[in-house]
Amino acid sequence: MHLRRCGMKTFVLVTDAQPRMTLAVVRSLGQKGVNVLAAEKTRFAPALFSKYCKVGLVNPDPQKYPDEFMQWLIATLDKYPCEMCIPVDDATLDVIMKHRHKLERLTSFVLPPLEGYKVASDKGLSVLAAQQADILCPHTIIPDNLKELDVWIKNLEFPVIIKPRKSSGSRGIKYVEDKEYFKKAYLQVHKEYPFPIVQKYIQPVEKYGVCLLFNSASELRASFVQREVRHYPVNMGTSVVQESVYYPKLVEIGSKLMKSLKWTGIVELDFLVDQQGKAYFMEINPRFWGSLQMAVLAGVDFPWLLYRLAKEGDIEEVHTYKTGILCRWLLPGDILHLLTNKNRLSMNPSFLAGKKDNVYDDILSWDDPLPTLGFIMSCFRYLFDGQMWRFVLKGDHYEKHNNG
């Protein structure tokens, strides 16, 4: 896990320059003098416009063309002396985990064991792991065939959530209120995401993300908890505003689960707290999370800690940070929330809130303004992509099925 040492100038390769958490990684490392090389499927990606990105490259799509991406990655690591590679998004991480032994001869990574990763990246297997660790989860059905579909319907307690086993954000999730619509909704999800899981719907009072970093001995080295404040789509979607909070019990539960998987590196776990105050484990994100910038602002600089972990072998523990910090994903998340929220005038924090109200932004920065231009240019790239606009504007990543 130690970084390669070389007499010449070296880089840290950060993949997936489009998502906002990659921008947080690039800024964090760049501000500390690390030479960052970032890459994406297009040149029009926010992190590639950052002044902290020394070299920007275009790579093949790792989801559509994994073999070509792997060839590109090997060629890039041969051309540029990279002391470390930080894969950010799911598709890239899948390819790198599959070929890690070949790639580890070329650069350094901080990654979990393959078996643990397989469990963490599968929502069905992660629920089973949580249950085995005596962690509270919603009642869950994990199908492996369609023959017993009618049997499940008879035994289900509605409403339920149909959830893909592998997806990010709220893509493919369907909320079903009664039996009449279940079979159709399930088969729709199954067509794109084979054999999704089915969970009893828990009415949330609060949603939390527990962000953790483990060393190579699966010892917890950093922790951070965020409360979700606003979402898009409004009722059940990706969080667009979060607040830094302390919740030691959730850190304890999350750490217990990840230690059972012998975890190394970064991870984020989602929890839901119901009206009785019970905390339910929902899923694991085995990578950096969208709202990473807030943890950095609050005082837990996960990208820098990850880099130091690779360089030094181990680091001091970091579990204290500023609470009450709010950070939002204005472009486009909070704007879309504003446009679709019928109670927009009573939003708290207000849409117009800023730093004086302790509200910060994932992308906007006076110190590093050009990523905003990169985001705008990336929007033009998708200008005529109907599927992308349906996904963004209509919230096709979350659908509700009922008799209404």
CB 107 within 8 A of CB 75: no
Vertex 128: Cα angle to 281 and 148 (nearest 5): 115
Q: pLDDT (tens digit, 9 = 90+) per residue, 189-229?
A: 999 999 999 999 999 899 999 999 999 999 999 999 999 99
Does 355 have pLDDT greater than 90? yes
* 172 Cβ neighbours under 8 A, 6+ residues apart: 163, 164, 189, 192, 193, 196, 397
Q: Is 195 left (phi over 0), alpha (psi -120 to 50) or beta?
A: left
pLDDT at site 400: 59
Vertex 220: Cα angle to 26 and 47 (nearest 5): 10
pLDDT at site 396: 45
Q: pLDDT (tens digit, 9 = 90+) per residue, 141-154?
A: 999 888 888 888 88
For the chain, list the domains and their CATH numbers. Answer: 11-109 (3.40.50.20), 139-201 (3.30.1490.20), 206-365 (3.30.470.20)
φ and ψ at residue 70, rounded to 5 degrees: -60, -40
Tell me what the mean pLDDT of segment 307-323 comes to.
97
φ and ψ at residue 307, rounded to 5 degrees: -60, -45
Mean of all residue pLDDT scores within the chain: 92
Tell me what the mean pLDDT of segment 262-290 comes to.
97
pLDDT at site 3: 52
Q: Which of 392, 254, 255, 283 is nearest to 329 (CA)?
A: 392
* 107 Cβ neighbours under 8 A, 6+ residues apart: 4, 13, 77, 82, 83, 84, 85
